[in-house]
Structure 1
Amino acid sequence: MHTRTPIKNKLSDIDVVILCGGTGSRLRRVVDDRPKPMAEINDRPFLDILIDSFCEFGFRRFILCAGYMSQIIRDYYSSPRSSRQFVISEEHKPLGTAGAIKNAAKFIRSDTFLVANGDSFCSVDLRAFYDFHSARHALMSMVVLDTQNTGDCGLVSLDGSQRIVGFEERNQRCQSRYVNAGIYLFQKELLSLIPDDTSFSLENELFPKIVKQSCYGFVTQGRLIDIGTPERFAMAIKHLAEKQLQLSETVS
């Protein structure tokens, strides 16, 4: 078995790749003048709130994979912000979730890097997630939500050691109760499995290809916030404004 070099990075050394390139077609009925991650909640872009939550755990360098209306993201994050560094990776044609990451490969410095959807957030202890990934010398680790309400989310099957053994299509009848929360830790060697300049999906193409390798699911019961539809966007506003929801676990 191939043994990778032990993972020793501090979270401040790990790049965060955020997928911001989708067209947001379902949300466009209520937010039609900006990319979906820039939809405002309490006068702040959702993406800003998401980035704040990562910074609480010590992450400092963010690679924003932009596509649709990318100039809005570029303009907003072009100014220096304290200790945070932003790099914009722009795609000039739709590349899919995995293709966008490969397009950003030239900007990724760390051997281990975090990947997150720019339109959703799952409250999870990212320090514990990193330790979980590191202890298993995983090729890829995924945050999975333990819930009976799987809705239209992608489902993940785990064995007793939390190794990922399969993926289920949305709305398919299955026994899994684990939902893909859209937060991942990747080893940089994974990038070699993604073709250049080609539309390629994490969920439908990359993950099925690597499922028999060292891939694990980190189970959480945290809250999942998704702004992908007008209804979910309204719920996110409600949770964040009326209930003053904390977007991350308490960081000691």
Structure 2
Amino acid sequence: MKVVILAGGMGTRISEETTLRPKPMVEIGGKPILWHIMKTYSHYGFNEFVICLGYKGYMIKEYFINYFLYNSDITVELHNNNLNVLYTNAEAFKVTLVDTGLETNTAGRIKRIQDYVKDETFMLTYGDGVADINIQQLLDFHNKANKLVTLTSIRLPGRFGNLNINEEGTVTQFQEKPEGDGIWINGGYFVLEPGIFDYLKGNVDAIQWEKKPLVEIANHNQLAAYRHSGFWKCMDAMRDKIELEELWQTNQAAWKVW
């Protein structure tokens, strides 16, 4: 089963990094966040990827073209341009890199990879979010739900700490980052049936997948939600990048399931 990753956005909210590289190439622990996402799927045996490229997509192409070389011990004989690979720890990934347009929205990007997934069930996620999701359990849930689309729903913690204060001004209870208001939101990590392309007819380049197509699919009772209560983090801004890096460096990276 193929895994499609949306990796074409401009990442304007993390411009400190994305003026130089596409957002999925921003590094955590010396590896692009895209690599971390792919490693999660690979851990569950899914190694065939279709990457939807856009902004600075050539950098993602160059990364994978040179991946084997960069992760190998080599001997180079300069006099005859001979290259011998002595050892490699390259991944088992098979990666298809598709230019889906610089300004194409998410629905348009998905439509443009239809020929690469053909008439098969496939998975889809965003190129900026990591999680400790059990991909096999997600797939089992999707098969049991028997819907066109399964999304992974997550519940974000509150942004601010809660204080209970008595009349004298004494804090009687403090809770840092409490659970949110109980609302489950879209966390990516989709499983999709090929029937979703019926909702992507015509020119959908300017349409957001999460708006019109997914809304229509839900209205037709064809959307299921797999509830994930574990770790999930989207690298939406620089503070998120710093937090993920800190988790990695202190061996607290919950998404590192491999």
Is the pair's TM-score, using the shorter chain for normalization, greater than 0.5? yes
Cα-Cα RMSD: 2.2
Partner amino acid for 1:203? E
CA distance in 1, matches of 2:193, 2:159: 28
1:60-118 CA deviation, whole Å, 9 max, x = no partner?
Answer: 11000010000001111135655321001112342211211111111114611100000
Which one has a bigger Cα radius of gyration? Answer: 2
1:1-252 matches, within 5 Å, as: 14-78=1-65, 81-109=90-118, 111-147=120-156, 149=158, 177-197=183-203, 198-211=205-218, 212-247=220-255
Is the alpha carbon distance of 1:241 and 1:61 closer, same or farther for their aligned partners in structure 2, counting shifts above 3 Å?
Answer: same
Which blocks of at least 5 consecutive residues in structure 1 are unaligned? 1-13, 152-173
Change (3 A) 1:126 1:205: same
Cα pair 2:24 2:127 within 8 Å, conserved: yes
Q: Shift of the alpha carbon at 1:147?
A: 4.4
TM-score using structure 1 length: 0.78
| Matched AA of 1:77 | F
Partners of 2:254 and 2:137 in 1: CA distance: 18
Provide the C-alpha distance between the structure 2 equivalents of 1:150 and 1:127, rounded to a whole number of angstroms: 31
Partner AA of 2:215 in structure 1:
P
Identity of aligned residues (%): 20
Instruction: Write the letter of the residue equivalent to 1:206.
Output: P
- CA 1:44–1:242: 2 relative to 1, 3 Å: same
* In structure 1, distance between residues paired with 2:118 and 2:249: 36
Rounded Cα–Cα distance in structure 1 between residues aligned with 2:101 and 2:151: 28
Give every structure 1 segment of 4 or more consecutive aligned residues whose post-TM-superposition deviation is greater than 6 Å: none
How far, CA to CA, are the matches of 1:175 and 1:207 in structure 2? 23
Q: 1:233 to 1:148 in 2, by over 3 A?
A: closer
Deviation at 1:228, TM superposition (A): 1.7
**Residue 10 of structure 1 aligns with which residue?**
none
Q: CA deviation at 1:241?
A: 1.6
Paired residues, what number?
215
Structure 2 residue runs without a partner (length 5+): 69-89, 161-179
